Amino acid sequence: MMAAEHVPVLLGRVLELFAPAVAGRPAVLVDATVGLGGHSDALLSAHPRLRLIALDRDPQALERSAERLAHHGDRVELVHAVYDRIPEVLADRHLSTVDGVLFDLGVSSMQLDRTDRGFAYARDAPLDMRMDPTTGPTAADVLNTYPPAELVRVLRDYGEERFAQRIVKAVVAQREREPFSRSDRLVRLLYDAVPAASRRTGGHPAKRTFQALRIEVNSELPVLREAIPAAVKALSVGGRIVVESYQSLEDRIVKQAFVELAKSRTPPGLPVELPGHGPELKLLTRGAEKAGENEIEHNPRAASVRLRAAQRIREAAV
Q: Please state the residue numbers annotated as binding site for S-adenosyl-L-methionine.
A: 37-39, 56, 83, 104, 111
Residues 52 and 31 sit within 8 Å (Cβ to Cβ):
yes
Contact assessment for residue 17 and residue 46, using Cβ atoms and an 8 Å cutoff? no
Q: Are 190 and 205 in contact (CB under 8 A)?
A: yes
- For residues 296 and 228, the answer to whether their CB atoms sit within 8 Å is no
CA 225 remoteness from chain centre: 11
Buried b (16+ CB within 10 A) or exposed e, 218-242: bebeebbebbbebbbebbbeebbbb
Annotated binding site: 37-39, 56, 83, 104, 111
Cβ proximity of 40 and 100 under 8 Å: no
